[in-house]
Structure 1
Amino acid sequence: MADGTQMQPRAYIGSFTSAGGRGITTAALDPRTGALTPLHHTKDAVPDPSFLALAPNSSVLYAVSETDQGTAAAFSLNSGEPPSDHGPSRDGPVLLDGTVPVAGAGPTHLAATDSTLYTANYTSGSVTALPLHADGRLSSAAVTHQHHGRGPVGERQEGPHAHAVVPDPSGQWLLSTDLGTDSVWIYDLRGTAAGLRLHREIPLRAGTGPRHLAFAPVHPGQRDTPRRAYVVNELDSTVTTCRWDAETGELEPLGETRLLPPERAAAANYPSALAVSPDGRFAWAANRGDDSVTVLDLTSADLPTYVTTVPCGGHWPRDLALHPTGHWLYAANERSGDVTWFEVDPATGTPFLAGSLAAPAASCVVFEQATDG
């Protein structure tokens, strides 16, 4: 077995280089304390790598370049020197073959399967599928589906704005939240190779501005319980709870939960990201404006219950990421330029601030799993 230091997993932090970010930061993660220690920055390898995703086998890291010309990039994580007795290699991700156009403007989010990389293109309001080669490299044969529609909130909903792409746990469907159309677009991935076949569009309440979506886990004792999906809404500070049927690709909205207490409900606030605990008991939402993290109790048979909010430890939390163990929660605070981490109380779901890492224009955090040597 490898030395404990050699086994230390890594985190990858995206950023906006146009606002002073360091590209993609590689950081060592101490699973005992949650602490992040920076190892490497990609700097100018890709402009504005605002969102990242790991390949299913964790050997390739993908990034969107959130620019008007919209591109994606693949980075090898196996090209650096092996860890030494003095700790992990300080080499970081190595860019493979340059960037590839996504045939859409302002990509904000992406997701990788074994065969395809999907991007949500905010400015153009579209979703793109890019085939992947066997080694994880990107193909340039982009397939794009354009969303249509608008919402009632003036300049924010003058047209479609696809914000996220999330494969469902069965791997048969792709769900895309669209802030501009107040809807979730569902794509059927069965038998489509790297194509995009629209299944249906599910409307949510007008003016909510759906931004991100997360599925709750289903455990062995809950096989007969319909899976839930939670949509965080940027324009009215709510989370919409939905029932998800993977057999038919049907998403049924059930109701909404407010993310701020009544005394702060009128304040300008733009929720960004949602994380769900591995046991499905809690969810956390990041609030930009209120600069807080909301704790939700998911154990009710009906809708989530608001528990509390805690300060995010910075300003403008653009992303919220839960470590796979469920023990540590991380906020990428874009405007204060840091990533803060919290220890999560397993009984109440309450996060307690544990540390901070300077990360200019931080925009997201993803985690690499530790492996035995």
Structure 2
Amino acid sequence: MARGRHRDAPSRTPAAAPASAAAPQQGAAAQAAARPRSAPRHLYLGTYTSSGGGKGVGVATYDPHSGAISPGSVLAGAADPSFLALSAAGDVLYAVDEQEQGRVTAAAVGSDGTLRVLGSRPTGGSSPCHLSVHPGGRHVLSANYGSGSIAVHPLGSGGVLLARSDLVQHTGSGPDPDRQEGPHAHMVLSDPGGAFVLAVDLGTDSVYTYRLDPTAGKLTEVSRAAVKPGSGPRHLAFHPSGRYAYVANELGDSVIVCGYDPATGTLTPGSPQPTVPAGSPVSGRNYPAEVVVSANGAFVYVSNRGHDSVARFAVQNGGAGLRLLDAVPSGGAYPRHIALDPTGTLLFAANQNSGTVARFHVDPATGALTSAGGGYATPTPVCVLPV
């Protein structure tokens, strides 16, 4: 893949869109707790507008009991909004504009969940595919996949994006000539304590740890963790203890349990393990994508593109181990992104190639996933954010 538009490996043409998103959902969870349990909740959908028929950020609602999704409006002011994140207060939504000249867009969230564009800023790189809000609430961090860099944008009054305060360029490559010819930053997020910022780079088989200066908005590299060459790390999620993290390897078809020192920001990767049961039939390669952790730290879920499933792992030894329990069909094709709702009783899967968002009930005791009904049709869903 050339260092340009990020569309993953196989074709993304639809047949008919923290933890990576855990930090934004924490603020949303507080809002959700204040609403009646039966009241409809908002669901935001990321997509590609330059291919696959997406029109912008989708705004929908879902039933908190059944998970059934009802259509709403579309925010057309963001181009290729492939990843979304909410402010801690839930009043501003941020979206990457995954284009050659990458940008980040901010939108105010109305009381009815509708969105109004506040403005956008260039990321200084190409094809940004992930972003997160720093726990301090004063900065948005974005990962430029195409150019392999990390951008920092301070936030002004009302969550408005200010001019970029930093751009950190990764260097290096990996053994896969098609996907690792150069750096490809695929995710950037803060650790649970907010002391460090971690950037996952698929192209260099590395996870970088930075410290963010909250006044200057500058990143300083603290350490760098290397995974097995050719693994292509994509996304990372923390255990609630803050002492372990789980990395989904897109190219290595695996997940890694990593030790994490919250005092130093040092990440120590373990051995990779499969994300599909032994002997499972897969047409072509399998590309793990999103990894999420249950709020109680008992279960980890990984989406499998190719096997088209959601893997369920039991967390063992206080977070230090994972045991694969099963992998249930994702309810569509190529589940790029999965997310738990703030209550942890529903899981949504954005099946990019089938143009559907599937929903599952989550058993709180076993973590088991049970289909909650038919999929919600929407063009090229690549990110799903329930609040």
- Of 260, 284, 289, 2:306 maps to 289
Shift of 1:307: 0.7
- Give the aligned partner of residue 334 of structure 1: 352
For residue 288 of structure 1, what is the amino acid of its counterpart?
R
Shift of 1:131: 0.8
- Of 104, 107, 112, 2:125 maps to 104
- Give the aligned partner of residue 54 of structure 2: 21
For residue 117 of structure 2, what is the amino acid of its counterpart?
L
Whole-Å Cα distance in 1 between the matches of residues 116 and 350 of structure 2? 23
Equivalent residue pairs, number: 349
TM-score, reference length from structure 2: 0.86
Aligned-pair identity in percent equals 41
CA contact 1:150–1:181 (8 Å) conserved in 2: yes
Whole-Å Cα distance in 2 between the matches of residues 265 and 338 of structure 1? 22
Shift of 1:6: 9.4
CA contact 2:38–2:65 (8 Å) conserved in 1: no
What SS does the corresponding residue of 1:264 show, helix, strand or coil? coil
Shift of 1:142: 4.1
RMSD value, Cα: 2.0
CA contact 1:173–1:190 (8 Å) conserved in 2: no
- Of 353, 358, 361, 2:377 maps to 358
Which consecutive residues of structure 1, in runs of 5 or more, have no partner in the other structure? 83-88, 219-225, 369-373
Residue 253 (structure 2) pairs with residue 237 (structure 1) = yes
- Give the aligned partner of residue 344 of structure 1: 362
Structure with higher Rg: it is 1
- Give the aligned partner of residue 323 of structure 1: 341
Whole-Å Cα distance in 2 between the matches of residues 73 and 366 of structure 1? 16
Whole-Å Cα distance in 1 between the matches of residues 118 and 96 of structure 2? 14
Whole-Å Cα distance in 1 between the matches of residues 122 and 179 of structure 2? 25
Shift of 1:299: 2.4
Q: Which moved more, 1:328-337 or 1:250-259?
A: 250-259
- Of 64, 82, 85, 1:53 maps to 85
Whole-Å Cα distance in 1 between the matches of residues 273 and 382 of structure 2? 25
Shift of 1:141: 2.9
Map 1:77-226 → 2, pairs under 5 A: 77-78=109-110, 89=112, 92-97=114-119, 99-113=120-134, 114-191=137-214, 193-218=216-241
CA contact 2:121–2:164 (8 Å) conserved in 1: no
- Of 328, 332, 341, 1:310 maps to 328
- Give the aligned partner of residue 223 of structure 1: none
**Deviation readout 1:277-336 (Å, 9 max, x if unpaired):** 111111110011111111111124542011111110001111010112111111001111
Shift of 1:268: 0.6
Whole-Å Cα distance in 1 between the matches of residues 178 and 72 of structure 2? 41
- Give the aligned partner of residue 75 of structure 1: 107
Whole-Å Cα distance in 1 between the matches of residues 224 and 55 of structure 2? 37
CA contact 1:11–1:366 (8 Å) conserved in 2: yes
Q: Which moved more, 1:276-285 or 1:192-201?
A: 192-201
